[in-house]
Structure 1
Amino acid sequence: MQLDFMVVFSYWQVLAKGLALTLAFTVSCAVLGSVCGFLLSLLRLSKSPLIRIPTGLYVELFRGTPLLIQLFWIFFCLPVVFGISVPPYVSVVLALTLYMTAITSETFRGALKSIPSEQHDACTALGVASWNKVFYVIFPQALLRAVPPLLSNVVSLFKESALISSVGIADLMFVGQNISNSTARPVEFLSAVAVIYFLVAFPLTRLVGVIETRMLRRYAY
């Protein structure tokens, strides 16, 4: 067998569509998961064990089990156990969002703990309402501190999204596998898919380093 990587360019439009779908899932689930993760981090810092323990169990469950198992459970097991039919696209969004929520909640929890207690005391002394304190005082500072790990989480989610091909979603990995099977050229197309993932993920990893070394050390600490 002779390798011919030029054949990949004949299918660039199909690969581009798969990449676009992968990015769409990654961005949408990253945004939803980050918002839910911040709210969950506030609940995890609650003094009530009735709130803190269940939220902690949720985080440990989704951080401690493979994303593929979570995806399969939502897509295959929910219809069997609860009689709920979940479409593939909905199951993917739900699985990725729940996973992202769990890992970003720990990121925000660490950022929230790093905020000095004087900030909370000042809000109390000024009579600032709890929700105003959270969204106008605490959240901006926590977000700034959480930017580097949040971007790292997004990169991880982008790479983990390759698993959604297992439920028939025509993402980049699914498209690459189908083309490699139909053309009998797995080396060329799977290598091309790997290069595409790298070209998207590598700039983000470099951006994490730039933000951490230049912005955060100057403005947040």
Structure 2
Amino acid sequence: MNLDFTVVFSYWQALLQGLALTLVFTVGCAIMGSLCGFLLSLLRASRRRWLSVPAGLYVELFRGTPLLIQLFWVFFCFPVVFGIDIAPYVSVLLALTLYMTAITSETFRGALKSIPGEQHDACVALGLASWNKTVFVVFPQALLRGIPPLLSNVVSLFKESALISSVGIADLMFVGQNISNSTARPVEFLSAVAVIYFLVAFPLTRLVGVVETRMLRRYAY
């Protein structure tokens, strides 16, 4: 077999379009999943068992099952069970967000435990309402402490988003597979896809270390 990696450059626009869709799903699901994950971490930390127990079961369910199964269930089973027709892109967005919510909730739960009790006592002394305390005191500190693992979660989500190609979404992996099949050059194009994933993920992994060593040591307390 004669390898010719120059053929990849003839399809660079299609690969970039697939990468753009992958990044849109990653960023959108990361933002929504992080916000929902923070709310879920508050439910898990609640003293009311009717709130903490279901939240804990949700986290264990989505952390204990493969993401591919979750994608298939939302994509194929959700419309049948609930009788609602949803677009493929919406079902993928929902599945990735539900997964991201589960893993980020654990990040925030650990961050919440690291907030000193004096912070909560100060809020009581100042007479802050529960909502104001959560939004203006608890959330900023939890976010600051949770930045490194949150960034790691985003990197993991970016890599695992390649699974959405299995349900026909034209992301980077889907485009690469189609081109490799049509050109009969799987080595060149699948290698190119792997390089693209690496070029995006590697700087983010380095960013985690920079944030942890510089930002957190300077501002966290």
- TM-score category, normalised to shorter length: over 0.9
- What is the CA distance between 1:77 and its match in structure 2? 1.1
Report the TM-score when normalising by structure 1.
0.98
Moved over 3 A (4+): none
The residue aligned with 2:158 is: 158
> Which amino acid in structure 2 is aligned with residue 140 of structure 1?
P
The residue aligned with 1:97 is: 97
**Residues in 1 aligned to 2:218 and 2:129: alpha-carbon distance in whole angstroms:** 30
**Percent of matched pairs sharing the same residue:** 84
Question: How many residues in Structure 1 have an aligned counterpart in Structure 2?
Answer: 221
Residues 80-115 of structure 1, C-alpha deviations (whole Å, 9 max, x = no match): 333222221011000000000000000001001100
3-state DSSP class of the match of 1:2? coil
**Residues in 1 aligned to 2:139 and 2:13: alpha-carbon distance in whole angstroms:** 41
Q: How does 1:8-157 map to 2 (within 5 A)?
A: 8-157=8-157
> Which amino acid in structure 1 is aligned with residue 37 of structure 2?
G
Q: Is the 8 A contact 1:22 1:172 kept in 2?
A: yes
Q: Is the 8 A contact 1:40 1:105 kept in 2?
A: yes
Report the TM-score when normalising by structure 2.
0.98
Stretch of structure 1 that moved more, 75-84 or 2-11: 75-84
Residues 145-183 of structure 1, C-alpha deviations (whole Å, 9 max, x = no match): 000000000000000100001111100000000000000
- What is the CA distance between 1:122 and its match in structure 2? 0.6
**Residues in 1 aligned to 2:82 and 2:23: alpha-carbon distance in whole angstroms:** 31
- What is the CA distance between 1:219 and its match in structure 2? 1.4
**Residues in 2 aligned to 1:15 and 1:7: alpha-carbon distance in whole angstroms:** 12
**Residues in 1 aligned to 2:62 and 2:11: alpha-carbon distance in whole angstroms:** 36
Stretch of structure 1 that moved more, 190-199 or 124-133: 124-133
**Residues in 2 aligned to 1:170 and 1:90: alpha-carbon distance in whole angstroms:** 14
**Residues in 1 aligned to 2:79 and 2:28: alpha-carbon distance in whole angstroms:** 25
**Residues in 1 aligned to 2:85 and 2:129: alpha-carbon distance in whole angstroms:** 42
Residues 32-65 of structure 1, C-alpha deviations (whole Å, 9 max, x = no match): 0000001111111100000000000000000110
Q: Is the 8 A contact 1:74 1:86 kept in 2?
A: no
CA RMSD in angstroms, aligned pairs only: 0.7
Q: Is the 8 A contact 1:165 1:171 kept in 2?
A: yes
Q: Is the 8 A contact 1:176 1:189 kept in 2?
A: yes
**Residues in 1 aligned to 2:145 and 2:80: alpha-carbon distance in whole angstroms:** 43
Q: How does 1:206-221 map to 2 (within 5 A)?
A: 206-221=206-221
**Residues in 2 aligned to 1:78 and 1:35: alpha-carbon distance in whole angstroms:** 23
**Residues in 1 aligned to 2:49 and 2:100: alpha-carbon distance in whole angstroms:** 23
**Residues in 2 aligned to 1:78 and 1:138: alpha-carbon distance in whole angstroms:** 35
**Residues in 2 aligned to 1:212 and 1:100: alpha-carbon distance in whole angstroms:** 21
Task: Identify unmatched segments of 5+ residues in structure 2.
Answer: none
- What is the CA distance between 1:210 and its match in structure 2? 0.5
- What is the CA distance between 1:215 and its match in structure 2? 1.2
> Which amino acid in structure 2 is aligned with residue 124 of structure 1?
V
**Residues in 1 aligned to 2:82 and 2:209: alpha-carbon distance in whole angstroms:** 45
Task: Identify unmatched segments of 5+ residues in structure 1.
Answer: none
